[in-house]
Structure 1
């Protein structure tokens, strides 16, 4: 009987997806869209091909309306069931959270942390944060998912990551750096802070409206006071990649 890994957080069976590897061939990743996380066996996080990242964008976009729940306080390795150790790494995209198995079976990353690790984000400027703060009260940290009141904090109070945006120009640069021809997209940082804030709010509003329509029968819906910066960034990137 084939082994079905369980999500380190919710302990439900993960979806096993096959992606192209940068060294040739394929590799399998265990994805949990409910927890917005993925499990990497040793070294898998460094072997994902650039083309596979675009495929991953498409998957994240397809599941943008899925119900999400916070990570459990205690995460367990899907291979040995030992508790995962929470830690921090720093990459070109900034500081991000990761959870590792002490027995070296692999690591668990949220979708946001993976994007930070691969450099698909850029930090928001002070002016952009202030423009966004005029429109929304709190956002979810791209790295750890924690709630940040951007009216008072310009960094995540939980993991101390800078506030970052998954942005088309950053994606182009990262894909080029990983050995793939970058797609030509409109540079998001060329827009004014107010224009960027308006675009993000509009994208997130549309996503929330779609989610509420799909989940009318659920007792709980999207919280209107939390703004999902990662999802809005995915929407922005995907809309330009598909042009």
Structure 2
């Protein structure tokens, strides 16, 4: 269920969308989404109150809005309740390291979609062979945590926030969903080159659509394959492989 009114996004200050989701012990939790900033606002401890089926619903909402126009986070984020600055920090779970932005007055925290996916185990870190193959085919990607460009030909982690490179892929999603709800079985990647090939194909298609909308033409072997957003590409990979089953 979705409600029309909400608080302002900590980054862009547009009204966030409130989604009422199942909570633990038959309760409900209201989570604020900003699809333009790809961010979530959780009141204090709300991220721990979500029922398993709520995690699945949130994943589907992110996928449904995957084509929304995305914008980078502002340098300063403000608490939607007290307007105070949010402090950036890091949390570490088994699936990786992710960024959080917390209110000093303990009103809540703001997390990117990709950080939430890492927290809930929907991603896995890329292996060195996968990084090497993607570097040869893609070159530069965007960090899923902070959005900074990462030149895979020179670095294997984000130089801005030091986050490890991770991918939202069908195998990781299936494993995580087994802890939240029943999910159909899917095949994992056959080899490291499968990831690179899939990302290049998705990046080219996204670039083609953007060029058509803008009425511009870009040629050459690297057209449309630089600056891939791993999180958005991962959503497309999951959707494509699941829908084909």
Instruction: Name the SS of the counterpart of 2:26 in structure 1.
Output: coil
User: Structure 1 length as normaliser, TM-score?
Assistant: 0.88
Verify: 1:113 aligned to 2:118, yes or no: no
Conserved? CA contact 1:95–1:143, under 8 Å:
no
Give the equivalent residue in structure 2 for 1:196: 195
Give the equivalent residue in structure 2 for 1:168: 170
Give the equivalent residue in structure 2 for 1:100: 102
Of residues 52-61 and 166-175 in structure 1, the stretch that sits farther from structure 2 once superposed is: 52-61
Verify: 1:216 aligned to 2:214, yes or no: yes
Conserved? CA contact 2:203–2:225, under 8 Å:
no
- 2-structure distance, mates of 1:19, 1:241: 24
How many residues of Structure 1 are paired with residues of Structure 2 in the alignment?
235
Of residues 196-205 and 78-87 in structure 1, the stretch that sits farther from structure 2 once superposed is: 196-205
Deviation at 1:54, TM superposition (A): 2.9
Across the aligned residues of Structure 1 and Structure 2, the Cα RMSD in angstroms comes to 2.2
- 2-structure distance, mates of 1:201, 1:47: 38
Give the equivalent residue in structure 1 for 2:186: 185
- 1-structure distance, mates of 2:156, 2:234: 18
Conserved? CA contact 2:138–2:196, under 8 Å:
no
Written as runs of structure 1 = structure 2, the 5 A alignment for 1:1-243 is 4-178=6-180, 180-188=181-189, 191-213=190-212, 215-216=213-214, 225-242=226-243, 243=245
- 1-structure distance, mates of 2:42, 2:240: 28
Unaligned runs of 5+ in 2: 216-223
Deviation at 1:212, TM superposition (A): 4.7
Over 3 Å counting, the alpha-carbon distance change for 1:3 and 1:55 in structure 2 is closer
Deviations 1:17-61 (A, max 9, x none): 122224323211111111110100112112333333333233222
- 1-structure distance, mates of 2:203, 2:178: 28
Over 3 Å counting, the alpha-carbon distance change for 1:172 and 1:224 in structure 2 is closer
Instruction: Name the SS of the counterpart of 1:23 in structure 2.
Output: helix
- 2-structure distance, mates of 1:212, 1:66: 16
Of residues 152-161 and 137-146 in structure 1, the stretch that sits farther from structure 2 once superposed is: 137-146
Over 3 Å counting, the alpha-carbon distance change for 1:240 and 1:24 in structure 2 is farther
Instruction: Name the SS of the counterpart of 1:151 in structure 2.
Output: coil
Instruction: Name the SS of the counterpart of 2:236 in structure 1.
Output: helix
- 2-structure distance, mates of 1:184, 1:143: 28
Conserved? CA contact 2:56–2:177, under 8 Å:
no
Conserved? CA contact 1:204–1:231, under 8 Å:
no
User: Structure 2 length as normaliser, TM-score?
Assistant: 0.87
Deviations 1:84-111 (A, max 9, x none): 0000110121110000001111000000
